[in-house]
Chains A and B, each alone.
Chain A
């Protein structure tokens, strides 16, 4: 596949937006300026960026508890995101969802999800709606390696294949289910082996290579658009921070060497090197892009901090859609 300079620049921007947003969110969390739980996407940027760069705005994505990266990659508004993470009224969900339920239905990002595997059946439902309407819209299901051990995921994958729905299953294999190494929770080396069991084509890609993810996703999305049913992509990747939060709490579940080895293969560094070597962008141009994104992240943080908390009388709004029985 011919990768244009525009695509490389697009992937770079998407990844950097995620990285800088997440680093800022992590700092706020560490400083107790952000409540709740936070599951950072740092390290895995190539997956969300590579996949979302192959999607149209009307394509849906189902997400996970580690969902900020998916929304940023789909084009999410950083200010509304930051405000939501801080529980502010101006956030995407008016402060009612937070990190684990952040969504933008206008961008067809169907929500992060606090329950592992639970986003898969919902995204499959969106894929069904596409088939029902006879359009060529595609639903992408993001999930981790751990989710493939959950019943809901299995049900969703099987149903999507049985009904031949326009879906793409993207496994972000970051080698850990919370704090337990993957090899302790499944007896296979490659999660993609499971695709065959659903009758889906499966492909394994380097999840630290945004271009590789982009190429694999483009193919799977095209297949779904053409009405040939779902595909499975396993992207081997790594999370730099912990399952939850930034600093390691409790026992040390991985070595510094392991983390360092993955960081040597950092997806953003790798793409920047490729862009410079290929004459796509100079170092100073890349730095300018970074500065511009950092400014928008800083703006998002300020917006979040300056925003008000929700009024208490919003507690009972939006439990139900009013009209009819309510």
Chain B
């Protein structure tokens, strides 16, 4: 596996589409299925051109049947194919949760290891389109809680392509979550087929004063916050987890041991979000290195609101992240 760094630019969605085209050319066992995936190329276009090139059997338009879409993938995967099945919005995983959490996640274990399940479930998460409470959620924490699942959330076009290739090649059920607000983002992305290993975080910005652990759309916001903080003399290290399950805790711990401060940032609601798990892992592994409690920044404990005015306030942004980081760093200068 190589981490390629060609200068060519591609959008996040274009990178996903290119990955699908290239891996379907490479592996005849890969097919895509889901609602509007075939003729329409997917609701946001990530499956564009696949049916024209590979036909209706490898680019399947299914009924709006989330449970059967996942089941189709499970049965095909058990039978030796390598399905990519799509749930249009991350919220819809809840409709299919039995097939995801009771079936896909557990089959291998319940069968005593007698099968592998090379299944990729692609979906679109996150707020920012005024899509309201049933089309905007970030539900990754509940997925990470289920043994058997692998959860991937890319933040850049390069990662979107390389991580999707790895997800499809992975012999376990992977939930690959794109963020809807990143679709048009452009960035460098190699033209050839390449993969990025799952379970490996990326240090997006090295720094010495505080570690910001984040993923998905919040990587960009955290980078902006780091820039603001830089002007204030705070040198933040930003870690993009990229894969949430398995989580690259080692990279986080190594960074915290260096910076002695940490803030976890995610778009999901703060209560029982991944920030809780990450901060707990940090205090277990690096308690003596911490100069302040690990901060957590996430959405408030409410459904995602519809109104742009409310939604903009709901989703964490660079300002809120910078505030949270300042609070964590300034804790050291408080009187003992």
Chain A residues close to B by CB (< 8 Å): 60, 62, 91-97, 101, 103, 105, 110-111, 113-115, 118, 120-132, 139, 151-152, 155-156, 158-159, 162-163, 317-321, 323-326
Docked-complex contact A159 and B68, CB < 8 angstroms: yes
What is the CA–CA distance of A103 and B63 in the complex, to the nearest angstrom? 29
What is the CA–CA distance of A126 and B31 in the complex, to the nearest angstrom? 14
B150 within 8 A of A: yes
Docked-complex contact A159 and B79, CB < 8 angstroms: no
Write out the residue numbers on chain A whose beta carbons fall within 8 Å of the beta carbon of B113. Answer: 94, 317-318
Min C-beta distance of B79 to chain A, whole Å: 4
Write out the residue numbers on chain B whose beta carbons fall within 8 Å of the beta carbon of A62. Answer: 75
What is the CA–CA distance of A325 and B243 in the complex, to the nearest angstrom? 9
Docked-complex contact A94 and B246, CB < 8 angstroms: no
Docked-complex contact B79 and A60, CB < 8 angstroms: yes
Number of A-B contacts (CB under 8 A): 161
What is the CA–CA distance of A123 and B72 in the complex, to the nearest angstrom? 8
Please tell me the number of chain B residues within 8 Å of chain A, measured between CB atoms.
51
Write out the residue numbers on chain A whose beta carbons fall within 8 Å of the beta carbon of B72. Answer: 121, 124-125, 128, 159
B206 within 8 A of A: no
Known: A118-B98, A125-B74. 9 other contacts (CB 8 A): A101-B110, A121-B74, A122-B99, A128-B75, A155-B63, A156-B65, A162-B62, A319-B109, A324-B172
Q: List 23 A-B contacts (CB under 8 A).
A: A93-B112, A96-B109, A101-B111, A111-B110, A113-B103, A115-B103, A124-B68, A125-B77, A128-B75, A129-B80, A152-B99, A155-B66, A159-B62, A159-B72, A163-B60, A163-B62, A319-B148, A321-B116, A321-B171, A325-B170, A325-B197, A325-B199, A326-B172
What is the CA–CA distance of A318 and B246 in the complex, to the nearest angstrom? 15
What is the CA–CA distance of A105 and B108 in the complex, to the nearest angstrom? 11
Docked-complex contact A320 and B68, CB < 8 angstroms: no
Docked-complex contact A93 and B111, CB < 8 angstroms: yes
Are A152 and B98 CB-contacts (below 8 A) given A132-B31, A324-B166, A326-B172? Answer: yes
What is the CA–CA distance of A319 and B117 in the complex, to the nearest angstrom? 11
Write out the residue numbers on chain B whose beta carbons fall within 8 Å of the beta carbon of A115. Answer: 98, 102-103
Are A121 and B99 CB-contacts (below 8 A) given A129-B76, A151-B67, A324-B166? Answer: yes
B132 within 8 A of A: no
Min C-beta distance of A102 to chain B, whole Å: 9
Are A156 and B81 CB-contacts (below 8 A) given A96-B110, A103-B114, A132-B57? Answer: no
Docked-complex contact A125 and B78, CB < 8 angstroms: yes
Write out the residue numbers on chain B whose beta carbons fall within 8 Å of the beta carbon of A123. Answer: 75
Write out the residue numbers on chain A whose beta carbons fall within 8 Å of the beta carbon of B98. Answer: 115, 118, 152
What is the CA–CA distance of A310 and B146 in the complex, to the nearest angstrom? 23
Docked-complex contact A121 and B75, CB < 8 angstroms: yes
Docked-complex contact B68 and A110, CB < 8 angstroms: no
Name the CB-closest residue of A to B116. Answer: A321
Name the CB-closest residue of A to B67. Answer: A152
Bitwise, B74-109 to A at CB < 8 A (1) or not (0) is 111111110100000000000000110011000111
Min C-beta distance of B113 to chain A, whole Å: 3
**Which 9 interchain pairs have the tightest Cβ spacing?**
A125-B75, A121-B71, A325-B198, A318-B113, A129-B79, A93-B112, A155-B68, A94-B112, A155-B65
Are A91 and B75 CB-contacts (below 8 A) given A118-B102, A121-B99? Answer: no
Docked-complex contact B112 and A122, CB < 8 angstroms: no
What is the CA–CA distance of A141 and B80 in the complex, to the nearest angstrom? 19
Min C-beta distance of B78 to chain A, whole Å: 6
Write out the residue numbers on chain A whose beta carbons fall within 8 Å of the beta carbon of B111. Answer: 93, 96-97, 101, 103, 105, 111
Partner of B99, one of A94, A118, A129, A323: A118
Min C-beta distance of A311 to chain B, whole Å: 13
Min C-beta distance of B37 to chain A, whole Å: 13
Docked-complex contact A319 and B67, CB < 8 angstroms: no
Write out the residue numbers on chain A whose beta carbons fall within 8 Å of the beta carbon of B65. Answer: 155-156, 158-159
Name the CB-closest residue of B to A106. Answer: B114
Write out the residue numbers on chain B whose beta carbons fall within 8 Å of the beta carbon of A321. Answer: 108, 116-117, 171-172
Name the CB-closest residue of A to B95. Answer: A151
Min C-beta distance of A158 to chain B, whole Å: 6
Bitwise, B275-297 to A at CB < 8 A (1) or not (0) is 00000000000000000000000
Q: State which residues 15-73 of B face A: CB under 8 Å.
A: 31, 57-58, 60, 62-63, 65-68, 70-73
